[in-house]
C-alpha cells in the first residue's frame, strides 16, 4: 500500500493557486484511474484506488499547508506506513514551470508543507517536485505562490497534471527515474520543452 499526498490549501479561494498544484495532480490521478469518491478523514480528504496493482490512498490535507504533517501522520499511523511508502506532490519554486523532479529525502527549501511533514514523520519520504518557477525576488515569493496560475499557464498545468496521472503507476512501484523520464517526454512531445532541453532548471 502507498500513500500519495497532494499539498495545497483547502477551499475555493485557493483552488487555482500555484501553491495548490499538488492538489491538482492527485485530483487528476483520482479522475483518470477511477478512484473511489473523496471522503473526509485524517484531517483531510482521501480517495482509494489502485495503480499498477498496488493499492494507493490519495490524501489532500485540509489543515492548510503549514500543518499538512498532522494529516499525513494520522493517515500513516492508521495504515501502518513508513515514510518510504509515502509520496508527496508539491509545488517547487526552484524548478522552471512544467519541469518535474523526483527525490527521496533532502532539504525542504523553505517549503512550509514539507517542513510540517518532516517534523511529523521524518524526512525519508518521496517528493514529486512540480516546477512552478520563481518570481525572481524573494520578497515576491509569498504572493506569487498564493496567486492563481496565469491564463497562459493553463495549458502546461493541465498537460503536466495529465502526464503525472498517466504515469503515476511507476511511482507506486518505485520506478522513479522512469516516471520522471516519461513525464518529461510527454511534456516535450506537447511542445513545452525544446528538443535539446534536458529538463534541468
First-to-last C-alpha distance (Å) of the chain: 32
| Residue 19 bears catalytic tag | yes
Set 19, 33, 111, 184: catalytic member: 19
Domains of the chain, start order: 2-189 (3.40.50.1470)
pLDDT in tens, 141-179: 999 999 999 999 999 999 999 999 999 999 999 999 999
Task: Cell numbers for 172, please give them.
Answer: 507506486
How far is 120 from 90, CA to CA, in rounded Å?
17
Q: What is the pLDDT of residue 13?
A: 94
Task: Cell numbers for 53, please give them.
Answer: 496493482
> Do residues 100 and 128 make contact, with C-beta atoms less than 8 angstroms apart?
yes
How far is 60 from 68, CA to CA, in rounded Å?
9
Q: Give strand pairing partners of 130.
A: 91, 100
Q: What is the pLDDT of residue 192?
A: 86
Query: What is the pTM (predicted TM-score) of this model?
Result: 0.93
Low-confidence ranges of the chain (pLDDT < 70): 193-201
Mode of pairing for the β-strands spanning 86-92 and 126-131:
parallel
How far is 135 from 142, CA to CA, in rounded Å?
10
Q: What is the pLDDT of residue 23?
A: 97
Mode of pairing for the β-strands spanning 54-61 and 2-6:
parallel
Amino acid at each position: 500500500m502507498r500513500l500519495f499526498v497532494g499539498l495545497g490549501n483547502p477551499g475555493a479561494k485557493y483552488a487555482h493557486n500555484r501553491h495548490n498544484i499538488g492538489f491538482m495532480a492527485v485530483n487528476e490521478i483520482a479522475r483518470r484511474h477511477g478512484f473511489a469518491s473523496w471522503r473526509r478523514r485524517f484531517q483531510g480528504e482521501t480517495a482509494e484506488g489502485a495503480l499498477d496493482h498496488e493499492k494507493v490512498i490519495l490524501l489532500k490535507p485540509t489543515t492548510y499547508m503549514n500543518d499538512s504533517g498532522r494529516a499525513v501522520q494520522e493517515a500513516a499511523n492508521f495504515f501502518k506506513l513508513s515514510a518510504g511508502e509515502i509520496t508527496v506532490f508539491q509545488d517547487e519554486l526552484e524548478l522552471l514551470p512544467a519541469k518535474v523532479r523526483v527525490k527521496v529525502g533532502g532539504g525542504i527549501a523553505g517549503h512550509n508543507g514539507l517542513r510540517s511533514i518532516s517534523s511529523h514523520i521524518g524526512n525519508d519520504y518521496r517528493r514529486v517536485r512540480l516546477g512552478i518557477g520563481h518570481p525572481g525576488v524573494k520578497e515576491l515569493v509569498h504572493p506569487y505562490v498564493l496567486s492563481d496560475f496565469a491564463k497562459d499557464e493553463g495549458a502546461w498545468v493541465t498537460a503536466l497534471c495529465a502526464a503525472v496521472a498517466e504515469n503515476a503507476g511507476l511511482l507506486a512501484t518505485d520506478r522513479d527515474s522512469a516516471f520522471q523520464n516519461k513525464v518529461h517526454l510527454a511534456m516535450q512531445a506537447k511542445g513545452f520543452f525544446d528538443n535539446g532541453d534536458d529538463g534541468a532548471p
